Amino acid sequence: MSSTQFSVKEAIAKLVASEDLKSYEAEAAMEEIMAGKAASSQIASFLTAIRMKGPTVDELTAFATAMRRHAFSINPKITTRLVDTCGTGGDRFKTFNISTISALITAGTGVSVAKHGNRSFTSKCGSADLLESLGVNISADPLTVQSSIENTGIGFMFAPVFHPAMKFVASTRKEIGIRTVFNVLGPLTNPAGAKSQVVGVYDSSLVLQIAQVLKKLGTEDAMVVHGMDGIDEISLAGRTHCARILGEEIREEILEPSSFGLKHKSLEEISAEGAELEQYTLTAFNILSLDNSELTAKECATKEMMLMNSSAALVTTGIVDNYVDGVELARSSVDSGKAFEKLTSLVKFTNGDSSRLESLRSVPKIERKN
């Protein structure tokens, strides 16, 4: 049977019977969905069935291959290795948006960043929600984003713009309201072909699996991480399960805050439970623009966690060779104002709303610290 003869309906039948799809079957099913040929009820059934069975490495690789085929791709002309910090989202412990601000911090060191992301489907603040709230025009077209990476060192690739075929699944994802395979596929389908990545995942069982998929897709150096306290980032509150791709090798390790030269913090100190988008925005602005002496204890802890994750991104690009040096380079990016400059440049280059940053700047410091 050729791939063109295998349908989403047939895929659903196999999945509900707990049978794995062959690579060509998985690719054909995703191709039908991306081409807009599958009914919404079929998409919902497919997403639910693949979640209940659990996707294999071959299935995820095939899904990502089909998605990449339907995406707008860009090829920025840069001198450093391009890195992405896009994660899966959907963790069970709510932290402030770490990966998005880490992308700005990483860019502030001189490394080129192609940040891939979307609005949140399972929480109050995805990367697109946060950047838009900070004034970035998240709907910039692919050529503008490519030019932004080349000229400012960072660009944001909004999934609906770069993956127009996702319009066929967006409403279904919203309606079913659960994590789906698309949470996992986002980090696997960077439209700029970033060869370095830090991918936070919501479950430890995904760490090695996603690393294996990234390796099959051609990623050169990446870290797939899960905080063992339930955080989809490198955690400042405990141990982190990590799988590192180094060329043809995948190495698993356990990271601690001390691996980065940092002190352990409690879960309460890094929690964003109950925060609304406005609080996420203000926290991000404060961390990027204020001295440590002006930050709350929670903001200081959140900043340290952002530095950890930025350090990992820097290590994957080869600009530093250990996590402690990565933290110090990331700290310099923030404290020197370079990370904030990257944000303002991104807002201006995308023709965003600069008044948003001005309004945040005008918030009295006493209110910032509440």
* pLDDT above 70: residue 368: no
Percent of the chain with pLDDT over 90: 86
CB 279 within 8 A of CB 271: no
Q: Who wins on pLDDT, 55 or 174? A: 55
Q: Fill in the DSSP letter of residue 157.
A: E
- What residues form DSSP beta bridges with 200? 225
Going through the chain in order, the beta strands assigned E by DSSP cover: 83-84, 113-117, 154-158, 196-200, 221-227, 240-246, 249-255
Site of tokens 């996420």 = 280
Q: Fill in the DSSP letter of residue 271.
A: B
Could you tell me which residues come within 8 angstroms of residue 71 by beta carbon, excluding any fewer than 6 positions away?
162, 163, 165, 189, 191
Q: Fill in the DSSP letter of residue 187.
A: G
Q: For the chain, give the number of residues.
A: 370
Going along the chain from its start, the domains and CATH numbers come out as 3-69 (1.20.970.10), 82-370 (3.40.1030.10)
Query: Sheet harboring 240-246: ordered strands across?
Result: 154-158, 113-117, 83-84, 196-200, 221-227, 240-246, 249-255
Could you tell me which residues come within 8 angstroms of residue 362 by beta carbon, excluding any fewer than 6 positions away?
none
* pLDDT above 60: residue 367: no
What is the pLDDT, as a whole number, of residue 55? 97
* pLDDT above 70: residue 318: yes
| Residue 89 half-sphere exposure toward CB, CA atoms < 13 A | 26
Structure tokens at 129: 């929600």
Structure tokens at 25: 């079957």
Q: Please state, in angstroms and rounded to a whole number, the distance separating the CA atoms of residues 49 and 352.
A: 40
Q: Which tens digit of pLDDT belongs to each residue from 257-267?
A: 999 999 999 99
What is the pLDDT, as a whole number, of residue 91? 67
Q: Which tens digit of pLDDT belongs to each residue from 122-135?
A: 666 889 999 999 99
* pLDDT above 90: residue 227: yes
What's the mean pLDDT when you consider all of the chain? 93
Q: Which tens digit of pLDDT belongs to each residue from 20-37?
A: 999 999 999 999 999 999
* pLDDT above 90: residue 167: yes
Distances (CA, A) of 20 to 182, 189, 309: 18, 22, 34
- Comparing CA positions, the residue from 36, 44, 35 lying closest to residue 16 is 44
Could you tell me which residues come within 8 angstroms of residue 220 by beta carbon, excluding any fewer than 6 positions away?
81, 195, 196, 245, 247
Strand pairing of 196-200 and 83-84? parallel
Of the pLDDT bands very low, low, confident and very high (cuts 50, 70, 90), residue 352 is: very high
Of the pLDDT bands very low, low, confident and very high (cuts 50, 70, 90), residue 94 is: confident
What is the pLDDT, as a whole number, of residue 274? 81
Strand pairing of 240-246 and 249-255? antiparallel
Question: Cα 365 from chain centroid?
Answer: 30
Could you tell me which residues come within 8 angstroms of residue 178 by beta carbon, excluding any fewer than 6 positions away?
48, 51, 122
Which amino acid, one-letter code, is at 254? I
Q: Which tens digit of pLDDT belongs to each residue from 27-68?
A: 999 999 999 999 999 999 999 999 999 999 999 999 999 999
